[in-house]
Amino acid sequence: MNRLIKLTLATGSLMLLILFWTCTFVEDESNEIQPMTQQAVIPGQTGPLMVLRGNQSGVPVKSGSNHKMQLGAKKTNPYAVTNMTNAWNNLYAAHYEKLPVTDLYVRFLPENLQEYAVLDSLGLELLDFPMDYEVTQTGDYYQDPAIPEDRITWLYTVVKPDFAFPGITYEILDELHLVPYDSYLAAEAFRLAGQPYDQTALKQDGSGQSGLELLYPEPVCDPDCPSYPCCLTGLVDCGDDVVPQWCKGLNPDCLPGQSGYPDCLSTGGDGPGGGTLNDCGCVVPGNARTPAGCVQVVDTELPDNSLINGKSVHADGVRDVRIVWWNGWFDIRKTFTDENGCWAINHRESGRAYMWVKFKSDQKTIRGLRGARIWEYAAAIQDQAYFSGPPYNNIRIVYFPDNDNGSRDKAYWFAATANNAIYEYNEYAAADGIPGVPMELDVLLTNFGGSAAAPMFDDMSNNPLISMAAYEIGMVAAAVLSVGFLPATVTLAAFWAYIVAYSPDVIFNYGELTDFPSDRLKRTMYHEYGHAAHFHAIGDDIYWLNNAIYLVGNQISGTNPPYGDGTKPGAGPTAVIEMWGNHIGFMYADRTYGMHHSLVTNSDPVIINRHRHLNALERFDPKAALGSPNANDPEDAWIPAGLLLDCMDDNALNPTAVADPVVDMVKDFSMATCFQAVVAGRACIPCVKTFMLQHLPPGQSAADLELLFSEYGF
582-597: per-residue pLDDT in tens? 999 999 999 999 999 9
Residue 472 confidence (pLDDT): 39
Most confident stretch, 233-237, 556-560, 618-622: 618-622
Residue 486 confidence (pLDDT): 55
Report whether pLDDT(381) > 80: yes
Residue 266 confidence (pLDDT): 86
Round to whole Å and give the CA distance between 378 and 503. 11
* Percent of the chain topping pLDDT 70: 78
Residue 9 confidence (pLDDT): 34
Residue 171 confidence (pLDDT): 98
Cα-based distances in Å from 491 to 373, 378, 487, 498? 10, 16, 8, 11
Round to whole Å and give the CA distance between 529 and 422. 7
Most confident stretch, 400-409, 516-525, 541-550: 516-525
Q: Which of 22-31, 262-271, 315-324 has the lowest mean pLDDT?
A: 22-31
**8 A C-beta contact, residue 395 and residue 634:** no
Cα-based distances in Å from 550 to 396, 474, 635, 680, 684? 47, 17, 17, 21, 14
pTM of the model: 0.88
Give the containing element (helix H, strand E) for 335: strand 332-336
Report whether pLDDT(410) > 80: yes
Residue 149 confidence (pLDDT): 84
Which of the two residues, 68 and 476, has the higher pLDDT score?
68
Residue 46 confidence (pLDDT): 47
Give the containing element (helix H, strand E) for 496: helix 492-501
Report whether pLDDT(457) > 50: no
Report whether pLDDT(479) > 80: no
Give the containing element (helix H, strand E) for 324: strand 322-326
Most confident stretch, 159-168, 264-273, 302-311, 383-392: 159-168
Q: Which of 61-70, 540-549, 563-572 has the lowest mean pLDDT?
A: 61-70
Round to whole Å and give the CA distance between 353 and 388. 6
pLDDT for 481-520, tens place per residue?
A: 344 445 555 666 666 676 667 778 888 888 878 889 999 9
Beta strands 283-284 and 292-299, pairing class: unpaired
Round to whole Å and give the CA distance between 203 and 499. 52
Residue 541 confidence (pLDDT): 84
In the DSSP assignment, the letter for residue 106 is: E
pLDDT bucket at 32, cuts 50 / 70 / 90: very low
Laid out side by side, the sheet with 103-108 consists of 155-159, 103-108, 170-176
Residue 96 confidence (pLDDT): 95
Residue 342 confidence (pLDDT): 97
Q: Which residues pair with 14 in a beta bridge?
A: none
Residue 647 confidence (pLDDT): 98
Residue 454 confidence (pLDDT): 55
Residue 249 confidence (pLDDT): 72
Report whether pLDDT(178) > 60: yes
pLDDT bucket at 641, cuts 50 / 70 / 90: very high
Which of the two residues, 579 and 507, has the higher pLDDT score?
579
Burial class (CB in 10 A: 0-12, 13-18, 19+), 334: middle
